[in-house]
Structure 1
Amino acid sequence: MIPEPDPALARALAVDLADAGYTGARLRALWGVAADEALGRGMALPARREVAGSRSDVAVLARLFFLGSPVPLSDAQTALRTATVPGVEKLGLVRIADGSVIPSVLIRPQAYVDEHGAGEWWIASDIDESVRSGPLPEDHVLGVGGASLTLAGLQLPTPAVRVLDLGSGCGIQSLRARRDSPEVTATDISEAALRFTRLNALLNDVDGIRTLRGSLFEPIGEEVFDRVVSNPPFVITPRGADVPAYEYRDGGLTGDALVRDIVTTVGAHLTPGGIAQLLGNWEYVDGRDGLHRVRDWVAASPVPLDAWVIERDRMDPIAYAELWIRDGGTVPGTAAFESMLAAWLDDFEAREVREVGFGYILLRRASDGRPSLSRFERVEGVIGANAALGMHLAESLRAHDRQTRLSDDELAAAVLLAAGDVTEARHYLPGAEDPSVIELRQGGGFGRTLAVDPALAALVGASDGDLPVGRLIAAIAELLEVDPELLRADLLPRVRGLLEDGFLTFTDRPGPPPASPSDTRR
């Protein structure tokens, strides 16, 4: 475990990293595209070969803190001229032996983009499986992975007075939350994780992050927050001597009970209207849908909650076990791998788990005690760690709240606009005059594709911020020669859905007075 970080030494190290140009772009240029892609697949050797002969400051720091390789003491002294090698050793980040400086941690640049602009953090963590040989220790503090990047991108980019980062790990969610909040509290059961959180805050000159040690909500007592973010130790892990209990991914409970406990408890720590966002796994037990389990957890909360749950992936027990055994650095073909795989499969079989779902959970404490949002869905397709997703979620929530307050007559009087990222695709059978399928496709957000009928396609196509919804429906009814009232009853609920999904947006322009069904003039 690294010692408590010394603020002056940490900031001196930041000066050396900045002076050397220790950025993601500079490192990629240093070792090239092919080696960089190999790093993404967990292979450090090609990058090591590319920088082996260079003694520039950035190459020395890259070998030391990115690739986890020893460097000559003389080279390290030059690259760490401000913090000094003894100072960095005092921080617990390196050790000196036989004329070499040997890394004890990794420090890697991590770029970010949000509503405030683009930037880059330096993120320190324990040496990972791409650099070390053999399994990880159980108290390993993870760096920035795919899941943490996903949650950072999903965080709502809206102001919040107080944010709780539940299970902070290396602290990346705290750094992200601090961009929109003056006060962030980071909790973790691991003191090592909290020290990394404090170190990373110092390296990036970020204040306003309070750290508390303890399990889940225990350290905060009865405190409440405007926002809770959590990439919790949600991995479903069999209890037994053959399977390591990694602190960063295993909460010590059976099955998906840890995610259940967060969902049922978090409402008490949210202010009215406060929002919790977390990642999680949920089990499909004996044929029962996993999303139905999550729905039951939300219903069991003593505090009424709005819920939007998105399942992004589903895995069978064999694939799930293999993923997490490999994640810990144990490879197939070894006795340890076989033993752990057997333990996982025995656990799933004993509890009748057929599949495991993974996804995103957004919960909101209902301001008036009456939840209005209950959305449990599967979203297919590949979605990266996209900073725009957070804004998409925020806009979807605003659209939901606004359309919920409108009666059908008020919605019919609203003037709407088709979102700029929406396109239409029409598919025809050979020789046919009319399309057999019409699709609306979303370029941003979750990249949804919706099959629609000609009436709804016409309504979206005509939503240009000019005429209100009611007039457009009347015109489409006359064009299609259908009853306007029946068409309105059919389209308005679907318009509400298109608003929530971001295919349509509200304008603030009032529409002209309502038209009679026969008035189709534009």
Structure 2
Amino acid sequence: MAGVNEQSTPDAPVVDDALVAALRADLDSAGYTVDGVDTLLGPVATGALHRGEAVPALRATADHDDPVATLVRAFVLGAAVPGRALAAALPRVGVDGARRLGLVTTAGTGADDAVRAVVDLRPYAAVDGAGEAAWWVVSDLGELATGRALRTDHVLGVGGASVTLAQATVRGPRGRVLDVGTGCGVQALHAGRHAEHVVATDLSRRALAFARFTTALAGLGPDRVELRQGSMLEPVAGEQFDLVVSNPPFVITPRRPDVPAYDYRDGGRSGDDLVRDLVTGVGDVLAPGGVAQLLANWEVRRGERWDERIGAWLDAAGLDAWVVRRDEQDPAEYAETWIRDGGTTPADGAAWRDLYGAWLDDLASRDVESVAFGIVTLRRPVTGAPTLRRLEDRTGPVRQPLGPVLAAGLEAHDALVRLDDEDLAGLRLCVAGDVTEERYLEPGAVDPNVVLLRQGGGFGVTVRAGTALAAFVGACDGELTAGQIIAALGSLLDVPADAVAADVLPAARGLVADGLLHLPTP
């Protein structure tokens, strides 16, 4: 196979409607799906690829003339493939069509001449609140394929943060959805399934070109997904949306000329100012009842709790707010994570040490003791002042998708706000189907000294329950009202019903808010 001579190719993929349609048909016919790739590679090579190791996948696809093997070698692993192999894998679009789309560069026109991908094109499958979804996503080739550090205007593909946000987003029918910082367009794909119209913004012109190609490949034209260039909310000033989603460039990066800033992760502002501005400003583009969901890093400074800084932003935002802290790193851990993300490792010696020192100095200059990561859900009240404010630690395992859990939590909050204790006592509550009870007894004891109510799905909430609350939840099967159960417990425990109610009803509210108990369906 002849070597590849770099030719003049587009700096980002180009949309040609006819060629994109042909590409879509070719990828579908080839069986280029997540399951198809996993089956071809096998569990060992698939696992290694997820860890950033290409050798097992290269070996698994060597000497294969299967179209999926060719596509994986070219568009995932960055290996050169013969023109005849790519032509067989993409018979409708052809090698020349792929070159015209800005997907490959070629050494020549011969069947044995080498073809090399200049973009990452791979299948993507996920489960969000609307169910299963599968597309193909186009982004820049990563270090695994190129063997080089990332360019600063690198357009990132689907990462863990992208999937986290997609699965945490509420997925009811929406009129207008805004995707802030769309990158390669992943969130716009998900939004396109349940929105009448999506506006996707990004400061990077290259990112918008990739997003345009990704959404076009999914069959979402400009009538469904509109792309606008600009910083954060500037391109939509004065407009309103029913849902705003954002995986913003939230990484806290030293603002120094010797520290590279990457478009996909660095917002160009000091510290966590970008996240602050988004939290406090997104209400301006939310329609009444509209929801905004974003991923965020924020600083925890000396003498502060993790929720104080972001709590002050919520005060300024004037919105209903639900913040779930998922992780927290000390300055050293944070520096190591993002220096490696940019392609520098301890093996690089002085470069690693210099960058490490720059990150530590930057965080120390603001007395940062740790950096928190979480999911922020905001909502503009339909009328009146905000009533929801939840800032919670949920650092344990969760069961995705979380979107339905968050949507149910918002609905439960709204219902509880309208119910006083007398109203709540008149309802027939039901324990959720994923709730289990664990009892711990000392040897020989008849009664447990610890009772735990454990949620099997969602955030996996665990509540330590007293005797009355455990008995109350156990009786919540929809047959009796909460008040009837409380009266029965009073008689059983020889305690006034009012005292049982004072103990049980506040806890029951919390269980409803967390989804362990369900209110009756209207």
TM-score range, shorter chain: over 0.9
Query: Are the aligned partners of 1:134 and 1:330 in contact in 2 as well (CA < 8 Å)?
Result: no
Q: Count residues in correspondence.
A: 505
| Structure 1 residues 206 and 414: alpha-carbon distance in aligned structure 2, compared to 1, 3 A threshold | same
**1:361 Cα deviation from its structure 2 partner:** 0.2
**What percent identity do the matched residue pairs reach?**
50
- 1: distance between equivalents of 2:135 and 2:13? 21
The equivalent position to 1:346 in structure 2, one of 361, 364, 370, is 361
Indicate the residue corresponding to 1:151 in structure 2: 165
Indicate the residue corresponding to 1:513 in structure 2: none
Indicate the residue corresponding to 2:417 in structure 1: 404
- 2: distance between equivalents of 1:439 and 1:129? 47
- Structure 1 unaligned blocks of 5 or more: 510-522
The reply to whether residue 358 of structure 1 matches residue 373 of structure 2 is: yes
The reply to whether residue 293 of structure 1 matches residue 309 of structure 2 is: yes
Q: How does 1:46-445 map to 2 (within 5 A)?
A: 46-97=56-107, 99-207=113-221, 208-301=224-317, 304-334=318-348, 335-383=350-398, 386-387=400-401, 389-445=402-458
**1:259 Cα deviation from its structure 2 partner:** 0.5
Indicate the residue corresponding to 1:515 in structure 2: none
Query: Are the aligned partners of 2:73 and 2:81 in contact in 1 as well (CA < 8 Å)?
Result: yes
Provide Cα deviations, 1:228-287, integer angstroms capped at 9, x if missing partner: 000000000001122111000000111111100000100010001110000001111112
The equivalent position to 2:49 in structure 1, one of 39, 44, 55, is 39
* Residue identity opposite 1:371 in structure 2: P
* Residue identity opposite 1:269 in structure 2: V
**1:397 Cα deviation from its structure 2 partner:** 0.8
* Residue identity opposite 1:360 in structure 2: I
**1:197 Cα deviation from its structure 2 partner:** 1.0
- 1: distance between equivalents of 2:398 and 2:102? 37
* Residue identity opposite 1:336 in structure 2: A
Indicate the residue corresponding to 1:453 in structure 2: 466
Provide Cα deviations, 1:393-430, integer angstroms capped at 9, x if missing partner: 11111111011101111110011100000000011122
**1:95 Cα deviation from its structure 2 partner:** 0.3
- 1: distance between equivalents of 2:442 and 2:329? 36
Query: Are the aligned partners of 1:93 and 1:105 in contact in 2 as well (CA < 8 Å)?
Result: yes
Indicate the residue corresponding to 2:8 in structure 1: none
- 2: distance between equivalents of 1:431 and 1:280? 50
Provide the aligned C-alpha RMSD in A: 1.2
**1:115 Cα deviation from its structure 2 partner:** 4.9
The TM-score with structure 1 as length reference comes to: 0.95
Query: Are the aligned partners of 1:474 and 1:484 in contact in 2 as well (CA < 8 Å)?
Result: yes
**1:132 Cα deviation from its structure 2 partner:** 2.4
Provide Cα deviations, 1:142-181, integer angstroms capped at 9, x if missing partner: 0000000000001101111100000001111011111111
SS of 1:161 mapped into structure 2: strand
Query: Are the aligned partners of 1:165 and 1:186 in contact in 2 as well (CA < 8 Å)?
Result: yes
**1:79 Cα deviation from its structure 2 partner:** 1.4
Query: Are the aligned partners of 1:129 and 1:328 in contact in 2 as well (CA < 8 Å)?
Result: no
* Residue identity opposite 2:390 in structure 1: R
SS of 2:242 mapped into structure 1: strand
- Structure 2 unaligned blocks of 5 or more: 1-10
- 2: distance between equivalents of 1:129 and 1:288? 38
Query: Are the aligned partners of 1:166 and 1:230 in contact in 2 as well (CA < 8 Å)?
Result: yes
Query: Are the aligned partners of 1:155 and 1:177 in contact in 2 as well (CA < 8 Å)?
Result: no
